[in-house]
Amino acid sequence: MKVEHPGLEPFEASLRHLLETAFNSGVKAIESKGYRFEDIQRDRTAMSVFIRGCHYGYDRAQTRVGAAVIALEKQIREKKEQLKEFRRLRNEGVSELLEMIKALEDRQLVMRRIIDTIVYSMLGEDEWIIRRLGSGDEIRSIDPQVLERTLRVASARNEQSRYTFAVVVDLSTSVQIGDLFEISFQPGEKRAWRILELKEGKVNALLSEILGEKASLTEEDRISLQQRLDKSKMKQVERMVRQRTTLSQLEEVIETDHGIDYGTKQEITLSPDVIVVDDYEEDLCTLIEKSAREGHASKTIDECLHVIAVKPMQKLRPRALVPLFHLLAHPGCLENQLSSEDLTKEWEAFAKNAPIIDLVDLSMRIPHGRPIFYWVLVSRLRQVDLAMGHIRLFAYFDIEAFLERVRLTGIKASWITGKEAHELKKVSRRIMGSPNAYGVRVEYANGNVQDLMSGFFSRVLVYQTKPSSLLKMMRNLDQQSEKIAMTRLRKKEKVN
């Protein structure tokens, strides 16, 4: 992330103010009534005050983020037009202008991730739902006019009740369905959420008239629409229909634990059991604080995840950390007493197969990932340090070493590559650190086989899941798959 630029106003103060507004309003509300934070667990009135205070802060923050995102979008568009002119005239300021555009885009992304953090905060233990609200890693662009209208509607709805909060979907990167994502939470009641579409505009009205409550168009419907709309409006119709279909599929998954996954478009059945996993957020907190004091800190977690926090004095590239990561992954290498030339060669070979990931950048750019502002054990001060680049955080997940740990438990594990990976490429990315594999085939002692895709292993970096917990999930998969199979069988029998 690069959010500062000499040609722009400083960003840090406004970021701190936004975070304070969004996430401290609830605490301030209960303190103003003479309560302590601990009271919300045992006092219903204190909880009510806290929830209303939180929602009030969320609403103020969302309004300010919305205004800032719209202003930034207009700046970005202006600068991109200027960039075209610079390139046409072969102006020497092209690279400088590109840097400014990047800073503006990164500022916009940081602000949108504040909205995502609000979603995480409100869903609480149900954060798994977020992974069902988006289709991938692409972040939707902003339409300033549409966003302004939606913000007005959201603010009006939020004023009606401080127990219900409407998130503007176009501001979020995690939620990619509908126009508003509304969450209701009252003391003593379970959280409830729903996705709302705003019925505005000619196309929406016409589509609603033709579709009614249906989630898809018949051929007759399409012909009727094509006779009444031009090509651009038909594209809008197709998008709206896809959104309706997706929402219908999501509702089916939530209600029945079975349906079509939004991202992969594959049939899925949710596990009937909740598996509690551990994260390494506390380790990150310790590393970040130590790097703030001493300049750098490092740690190896579960023998295969290596993390380095550093307070850079200048621009830092991940490649510069190769020797440190090599030492973490191979602590005995110094005993070999290699020459500097041989050591350099070893570093170069290591760098080719060891993907070093900027954890903060990943947190910002993966819509369904856990935002750094939701790393609850990391202080708000340090969260800002991370967002501003005052402290950098890098990780290397040695997946080969992890699979060796898997094999030691009696589970066979092999890469899925070549022709075998052909079908997986449709739903999985190449697994980082693998020999061009798109999945891992695991075989249990009882002969059962599971194919695990890149998304399963990405949990380590995207959700800060400990590798030991990932192993726990793998060992539990066999038992869960049998329960899922029984669930599917019962559903088929019920249908028949």
> Is 362 in the same domain as 378?
yes
pLDDT of residue 265: 62
Non-local (6+) Cβ contacts of 265 within 8 A are 427
- 91 and 45 Cβ atoms separated by less than 8 Å: no
Q: pLDDT at residue 122 above 70? A: yes
Q: Is residue 80, in this structure, part of any structural domain at all?
A: yes
Q: 162, 192, 222 — which closes off a domain?
A: 192
Q: 237, 260, 283 — which closes off a domain?
A: 260
> Is 66 in the same domain as 185?
yes
Alpha helix segments (H runs only) across 124-230 = 144-160, 202-211, 219-228
> Is 23 in the same domain as 160?
yes
**Number of domains within the chain:** 3
* 3-class secondary-structure state, position 215: coil
Q: pLDDT at residue 255 above 70? A: no
Tokens of 55: 């929602």
pLDDT of residue 339: 77
> Is 396 in the same domain as 287?
yes
pLDDT of residue 124: 82
From start to end of 111-206, where are the E strands?
Answer: 164-168, 180-184, 192-196
Q: pLDDT at residue 288 above 80? A: yes
> Is 388 in the same domain as 247?
no
Q: Is residue 85, in this structure, part of any structural domain at all?
A: yes
- pLDDT tens string 388-423: 999 999 999 999 999 999 999 999 999 999 999 998
- pLDDT tens string 43-77: 999 999 999 999 999 999 999 999 999 999 999 99
> Is 385 in the same domain as 492?
yes
> Is 356 in the same domain as 208?
no
Q: Is residue 455, in this structure, part of any structural domain at all?
A: yes
Read off the DSSP letter of residue 320: G
Q: What angle do CA 409, 423, 137 make, to 5 degrees?
A: 85
Q: 215, 236, 260 — which closes off a domain?
A: 260
Q: Is residue 266, in this structure, part of any structural domain at all?
A: no
CB-CB neighbours of 382 under 10 Å: 21
pLDDT confidence bin for 207, thresholds 50/70/90: low
Q: Is residue 242, in this structure, part of any structural domain at all?
A: yes
> Is 347 in the same domain as 473?
yes
Q: What integer is the mean pLDDT of 439-468?
A: 93
pLDDT of residue 212: 63
* 3-class secondary-structure state, position 232: helix
pLDDT of residue 190: 81
Q: Is residue 265, in this structure, part of any structural domain at all?
A: no
Compute the Cα dihedral for 256, 262, 267, 269 and give only its sign: negative
Q: What integer is the mean pLDDT of 378-390?
A: 96
> Is 299 in the same domain as 383?
yes
Q: Is residue 412, in this structure, part of any structural domain at all?
A: yes
- pLDDT tens string 220-251: 877 877 777 777 677 767 777 777 777 776 66
Q: Could you tell me what percent of the chain has a pLDDT over 70?
A: 85
> Is 301 in the same domain as 338?
yes
pLDDT of residue 273: 56
More confident residue, 453 or 479: 453
Q: What integer is the mean pLDDT of 157-185?
A: 91
Q: What integer is the mean pLDDT of 324-329?
A: 91
Q: pLDDT at residue 495 above 70? A: no
> Is 426 in the same domain as 288?
yes
More confident residue, 110 or 133: 110
Q: pLDDT at residue 483 above 90? A: no
More confident residue, 363 or 191: 363
List the domain range (segments joined by +) for residue 132. 1-170+179-192
> Is 8 in the same domain as 84?
yes
More confident residue, 89 or 314: 89
- Residue 395, strand partner residues: 307, 357
Q: What integer is the mean pLDDT of 85-89?
A: 90
Average pLDDT, the chain: 86
Q: Is residue 311, in this structure, part of any structural domain at all?
A: yes
- pLDDT tens string 292-302: 999 999 999 99
